[in-house]
Amino acid sequence: MDIRRNLPLLMIICFLSQMGGFMILPLFPLFIEEFGLSGWMMGVIFALFYVGKVIGGVPAAALYRKLGGQRALIVMLLILAVCMGGFAVSSAALLFGLLRLLQGLASTGLTVIVRSIIGDGGNIDNRGLYNGYISSSEGGGMVLGPVISGWLALHWPLSVPFLLVTLCCLIAMGTAMGMKTRPESEQMFKSDEREQMPDLDSGAESDIPINHAHENKRLPSASNDTAINDITVDDIAAASPTSAAPKSSAPAHIIAGTSAGLTPRHQLIGYGTVHFLEMSAYAVFLTYFALYAAHIMHWDPFATSLAFTVAGISTLAAAPVAGYLSDRMGDRLLLCMLGMLMIGIEVVVFLSTASYAWVYVGMLIGGVGGACYMDSFFAHIGDHIPDAGRSEVIGKIVSAAEIGSIVSPLIAALLVEYVSLYAVFVFNLVLIAAAIAVQAVMRSRYRSKQG
């Protein structure tokens, strides 16, 4: 897939899908409450969404490998359109639960597929920037979605926003159909390479080449990240019918393959742990900040909503810049760690003061930190995981991280019950510190092996 040509279309797809998700996020509890469901049944329906997110990553990666990025996107957007339209016309708890499960599955699936497309279509010089554009478009949807649905809910029945989201998903499907794909001969070549790929979970060390001939070059000298699995692509450049590039000698630490870094299994565990911790911290923040603002800082709902808006706009504006810096610095893990530190500063600020101005400044910093983390994290995976296994790794990482989104709010609930709301965000800071520590260990391993 020609990523440069299709990037604007991917941004439109991500904007529409994210806007749709955040349009229904504040309305869904109110909508299903109209049907007289018990509190327990409503809780089950809410939980099924996260179950879908947990199980959705691996099937989405398989679908991406089987159908390719464009067709996989169309399938996921079709599932979302069916779910949103189904919500609007349904009244049965069983159907709500099934649709909610499918919605979670498709939501994770879109993340996996889009990030895999960026990873496969980009290279070490532009993956950060491209991921930044995607994060920025998602941030725009996050900011605009609740505003639109809130206005609609004031003037129309609650089913109307769901119908509008269905239309957004259908428009996104049409956008995906307009994406340009690679020639069939190149896709067959890539498919043959994937079939020769060993199991990523086996822990075996393998040298799997990256199949982009244009990446047959040295890493930028400014880079502190070490390519772990990447080896020279001379063989592929020679085999590709479209490549006339001459052979060049790659750095020794790249040719050495995994002997210069972590095994695929260690990579998967490391990346999965980092993203699990980050998503756990994010889930705690989303779930309990509004309560903390109301009961500890004594804020009204408008001030609380404005804080989320500030963070969203900050992420929207900062994501492309953070991605560009990630590409130029080369040391993506360092930028990931800096992003998590900025998120920690955000938490420390509102734990220390109830001043509107200071808390909004903290939210601004946290939004930038979120952009730095997300852009650099997925770009780093794209740099260090071979094409043949990249979508599978991303699928497993995203699915594992969603487990954290389920578990961490439950732990936080126990802290609220037996300690205090303040303790919840101390727990949040512990999660952030742990994520930084794991990234520091991984970065140290890369740098020590490089030396």
What are 167's two structure tokens?
């239309």
Return d(Cα 233, Cα 209) in angstroms, integer: 6
Q: What is the mean pLDDT of residues 275-304?
A: 88
3-state secondary structure of 9: helix
**340 vs 256: which has the higher pLDDT:** 340
Return d(Cα 314, Cα 319) in angstroms, integer: 8
Tens digit of each residue's pLDDT (9 = 90 or more) over 354-373: 999 999 999 999 999 999 99
Q: What is the mean pLDDT of residues 326-354?
A: 92
Highest-pLDDT range among 46-50, 93-97, 138-142, 200-204: 93-97
What's the pLDDT at 290? 84
Cβ distance 73 to 176 under 8 Å? yes
E-strand stretches of 7-99 = none
Return d(Cα 380, Cα 228) in angstroms, integer: 11
Highest-pLDDT range among 67-71, 240-244, 347-351: 347-351
What's the pLDDT at 1? 66
| H or E, element range at 142 | helix 127-155
Provide the percentage of residues in the chain whose pLDDT is more than 70.
81
Task: Please state the pTM of the whole predicted model.
Answer: 0.70
Name the amino acid, one letter, at 317: A
Q: If you ran DSSP here, which 8-state letter would residue 214 be given? A: G
| H or E, element range at 430 | helix 421-450
What's the pLDDT at 140? 87
Q: Is the pLDDT of residue 219 over 50?
A: no
Cα 32-34-39 angle, rounded to 5 deg: 60
| H or E, element range at 90 | none
**149 vs 348: which has the higher pLDDT:** 348
Return d(Cα 166, Cα 77) in angstroms, integer: 10
Phi, psi of 212 (to 5 degrees): -95, 110
For residue 401, give the nearest of 11, 42, 58, 46 by alpha carbon: 58
Handedness of CA 372, 327, 203, 58 (dihedral sign): positive
For residue 58, give the nearest of 436, 394, 413, 414 by alpha carbon: 394
Residue 173 pLDDT grade (very low, low, confident, very high; cuts 50, 70, 90) = very high
**176 vs 406: which has the higher pLDDT:** 176
3-state secondary structure of 212: coil
Q: Is the pLDDT of residue 82 over 70?
A: yes
**349 vs 295: which has the higher pLDDT:** 349
Cβ distance 203 to 264 under 8 Å? yes
**372 vs 206: which has the higher pLDDT:** 372
What are 254's two structure tokens?
């790249």
Q: Is the pLDDT of residue 169 over 70?
A: yes
Alpha helix segments (H runs only) across 330-385: 332-352, 356-384
Cα 146-324-281 angle, rounded to 5 deg: 50
Q: Is the pLDDT of residue 70 over 80?
A: yes
CB 249: neighbour CB atoms within 10 A? Answer: 10
For 126-148, letters b (16+ CB in 10 Å) and e give: bbbbbbbbbbbbbbbbbbbbbeb
Q: What is the mean pLDDT of residues 201-205?
A: 42
What's the pLDDT at 237? 36
